[in-house]
Amino acid sequence: MNDIKVNLGEDQPLYQYIKKAIQDIEVLNILPMYKVDESVVAPFIHVLNWKWNPHPTSSEIQYRRRETGLKMISKYIGNTRLGILEFDIYCGARDKNKMLETKLIHNVIYVPIADEQGRYLIDNVKYSEYQLVDKLLYPSGKDTYTLKSLLPVVIKYEDAMAESIDGYLVSSKIGMVKIFKTMEPILSCFMHVAAPLAYLNVHPILKFCDRVSEDKEWYEYFQPLEGVNIYIKAYRKGLEEFEYVKSILVMAVDIIIRHKPENFEQLTDPKWWIYELSYYENIVEHRGACHQMHVARMLDTISAQVIPIPVCDKRIMISLLRYVLQTDFTGVDIYSFENKRLRRNEVVSTIVTADVSDKLKRMYKYGALLRMKDMESILKFHPQIILNNMDGKLDGIIHVTDFANDLDYPQSLKYTKNGQQAA
């Protein structure tokens, strides 16, 4: 083991991970960017006024609850080493008169503090949990890559072919991405961008156009929908030299066939795609931006910081997806110790990350029509959200096993023959 050189990374204090997890709730601010009706009051969220107290007094560490009527009792959290993280959420949404209403919601969260050995003291019991996790990729099947993120980003490739109006054949692969539970064309994640082909770095080799020009000597024209003046103009030499360009071409043909824009204007209108790609019934068109919010939420701040790729490729989710399309991962040994990292405090922070995701999901269904009366209760965090979810044999973050003696422990050991083999 002394010969194995592994960069395990640096573990930050738990409260810093929690701050980043909570700050991600501001992804809701994507909604005003994709309003169908400019007169609609779109909701917004800003997290501010952070205050970290690592040495609270005993009187500050208490949880009050109402029993009956006006009677109050205080339940103290004893024999627990923790600090207090306070913050405010400034939010705005529609009131009953469809006017903007704003509120400042104060939150307090109790945060366990690890000692020098990485142990948390909770109810007079010391807990410790480490995880050796993948830095970038999870094990996957054939023609499939799974990137590590808040939700595993599953990319699967399928063989496809496109034929130009003059019979020029192009064969390549269509990338499909798993967005929550469904596999969707990866190109759908880029169609809300004003110039998706330019963002994907294939313009001017590939262009969307509404007519065939007198330049067939150098270009091929692909018409996905018969009778509709929508064409993909492709520089022939670029198709011959770059597999990536061929892949984007067959993806573009596929997504146009799937969603059937009626004309060139619809094809190039980001608002049309936002409406078309909505996860929810399009009775309320203001929900259309939910597709973009779901995609954006797949990459959280904590995951973005630790993924070992260039910073410019992990600022937002679609930049990560672009990196995936442009990268060949066949040479990455996911079982190598060099592609692993150790985490501890980050594991505990996933409790808050999961709660933030649940809160966002509950707000997504309203779209731009989210009301303050619905928003206010959602944005209140339980003070003991971490303490109540840390330990547990089945669903807790810290795993505990009650063995009678040390000889029982090997019964739960599992192993795999994959990966590096020791002599």
Say whether both 206 and 307 belong to one domain: yes
Say whether both 210 and 240 belong to one domain: yes
- Percent of the chain past pLDDT 90, that is, above it, reads 38
Structure tokens at 290: 């939910």
- Give the Cα separation of 379 and 350 in Å (integer): 17
Say whether both 203 and 266 belong to one domain: yes
Task: With respect to residue 322, please indicate whether it lies within any of the assigned structural domains.
Answer: no
State the average pLDDT over residues 253-270.
95
Residue 37 pLDDT: 62
Q: Supply the mean pLDDT for the chain.
A: 81
Q: Please choose, from the candidates 197, 254, 245, the residue with its C-alpha nearest in 3D space to the C-alpha of residue 225.
A: 254
- Give the Cα separation of 147 and 101 in Å (integer): 40
pLDDT in tens, 14-47: 999 999 999 999 988 877 766 556 667 888 999 9
- Give the Cα separation of 212 and 222 in Å (integer): 10
Helices (H), 221-316: 236-241, 243-259, 264-267, 270-276, 290-297, 301-306
- Give the Cα separation of 254 and 141 in Å (integer): 23
Q: How confident is the model at residue 285 (pLDDT cuts 50, 70, 90)?
A: very low
pLDDT in tens, 55-81: 888 777 765 555 555 655 555 566 678
C-alpha atoms less than 13 angstroms from C-alpha of 141 in its C-beta half-sphere:
4
Cα angle, residue 395 at apex, residues 366 and 293 outer, rounded to 5°: 25
Say whether both 79 and 179 belong to one domain: no
Residue where a domain terminates, one of 290, 313, 336: 313
Say whether both 178 and 252 belong to one domain: yes
Task: With respect to residue 64, please indicate whether it lies within any of the assigned structural domains.
Answer: yes
Give the chain's domain count: 2
Task: With respect to residue 7, please indicate whether it lies within any of the assigned structural domains.
Answer: no
Task: With respect to residue 166, please indicate whether it lies within any of the assigned structural domains.
Answer: yes
Say whether both 179 and 277 belong to one domain: yes
- Give the Cα separation of 47 and 77 in Å (integer): 27
Say whether both 190 and 281 belong to one domain: yes
- Percent of the chain past pLDDT 70, that is, above it, reads 77
State the average pLDDT over residues 274-281.
68
Residue 268 pLDDT: 95
Task: With respect to residue 180, please indicate whether it lies within any of the assigned structural domains.
Answer: yes
Strands lying side by side in the sheet with 219-222: 206-209, 231-235, 219-222
From 85-94, 99-108, 281-290, 340-349, the region with the lowest mean pLDDT: 281-290
Residues spanned by the domain of 81: 14-130+344-412
Say whether both 390 and 268 belong to one domain: no
Say whether both 161 and 280 belong to one domain: yes
How remote is the C-alpha of 16 from its chain's centroid? 19
- Give the Cα separation of 191 and 127 in Å (integer): 47
Residue 219 pLDDT: 96
Residue 17 pLDDT: 92
- Give the Cα separation of 294 and 349 in Å (integer): 21
Say whether both 308 and 406 belong to one domain: no
From 25-39, 90-104, 112-126, 186-200, the region with the lowest mean pLDDT: 25-39
Contact 32, 90 (CB under 8 A): no
Q: Please choose, from the candidates 195, 196, 198, 201, the residue with its C-alpha nearest in 3D space to the C-alpha of residue 185.
A: 196
Q: How confident is the model at residue 394 (pLDDT cuts 50, 70, 90)?
A: very low
Task: With respect to residue 84, please indicate whether it lies within any of the assigned structural domains.
Answer: yes
Does residue 51 register a pLDDT over 90? Answer: yes
Residue 166 pLDDT: 95
Does residue 109 register a pLDDT over 90? Answer: yes
**Residue in the block written with tokens 């948390």:** 120
Contact 15, 111 (CB under 8 A): yes
